[in-house]
Amino acid sequence: MLRISIAAVALAAFAIGAVSGAAADDKPLQPWERKENHVKPPKGSPLDYLVSGYWFRTPKTRALQDDDFENPAFLWVEQAESEWTTVDGKAGKSCSSCHDAVEKSMKGVSARYPVYSAKNKKMMAITHQVNYCRENYMKAKKWKWESDKMLGMTSLIGLQSRGMPVNVSIDGPAKKFFEAGEKFYHQRRGQFDLACVHCHQGNFGMYIRADFLSQGHSNGFPTYRLKWQKLGSLHRRFRGCNNNIRAVPYKRGSPEYTNLELYLAWRGQGLKVEAPSVRQ
């Protein structure tokens, strides 16, 4: 009884509106309701169709993503392009010393991350991988998860997969991490007692205050958020979500968030990579 009343209050306070985005007969379809914007979900998906967060945004916001000049994330990408060939660390190497041209070597890489690393016995997001290279091969200092340099580099790498479908592996050694991520997604948490699934599976297309809830996919990250007025990581977004439901957030790069990243990537398996995207 107590549990029900808390959930009801939390939902009311968070104001998931009664107004549904679903089309009445006389209303034009919302962009995320249109079939041509739908992608077939992977086998076993709880969703009937996948639709990118892009289609939940206004035409003005979408226009900022459509043009690489209008998209401010490219300020960071340009910086990273020169960082790619800049020698750093005691080994006297740059990224390009091992990987040559980013356009070739990084093509499709972000689409399959996070991946299980047998060497490290853990799930690695692309950010972990960049720092692994910096520490072990370049003998350079780690970059902070949310630093401009790291966000620029992961955006530059993400850009090389733009338009390619998300395609992560969840079998074999990845399975146990995937299952942990799936559990996290369904676990109620925080004062509002909400799980990811409550907003992003059952209620996408509904109003949450004045915003439309999306399916909560990760294909656009890193993303330039109008609210942040800067580029930000997926794990920053997780922290924001957790804060909003008044749960204690985990650290960026933590195993919890990395497992969730894997599970989310699978939920969006088949969606096209949009990094670096623009969101509200």
Active-site positions read 241
- Residue 2 token pair: 């107590």
Q: Which of 225, 68, 268, 238 has its CA nearest to residue 156?
A: 68
Residue from 140, 213, 273, 275 that binds other proteins (CB under 8 A)? Answer: 213
Alpha-carbon gap, residue 77 to 276, rounded angstroms:
9
Query: Which residue number, 135 or 211, has a Cβ lying nearer to other proteins?
Result: 211
140 binds other proteins (CB under 8 A): no
Site for other proteins in 247-276 (CB under 8 A): none
Kindly state the tokens that stand for 174: 């990845």
Interface with other proteins (CB under 8 A), residue from 42, 241, 250, 255: 241
Please give the Cα distance from 232 to 47 (Å, whole number).
27
Choice from 112, 208, 256, 270 touching other proteins (CB under 8 A): 208
Q: By CB under 8 A, is residue 237 in contact with other proteins?
A: yes
Scanning residues 23 to 62, which ones bind other proteins (CB under 8 A)?
Answer: 57-58, 60-61
Judged by CB under 8 A, the residue of 78, 100, 103, 135 near other proteins is 78
Q: For other proteins, which residue of 120, 211, 251, 254 counts as binding (CB under 8 A)?
A: 211
Beta carbon of residue 206, minimum distance to other proteins (angstroms, whole number): 9
The Cα 21–Cα 233 span in angstroms is: 28
* Amino acid in the structure at residue 206: M
Residue of 275, 278, 146, 273 whose CA lies nearest to 225: 278
Closest by CA to 226, choosing from 63, 32, 20, is 63
Q: How many CA atoms lie within 13 A of 102 on its CB side?
A: 21
The residues binding other proteins (CB under 8 A) are 1-2, 5-6, 9, 12-15, 57-58, 60-61, 64, 69-70, 72, 74-76, 78-79, 148, 207-211, 213, 225-230, 236-237, 240-241, 243-244, 280
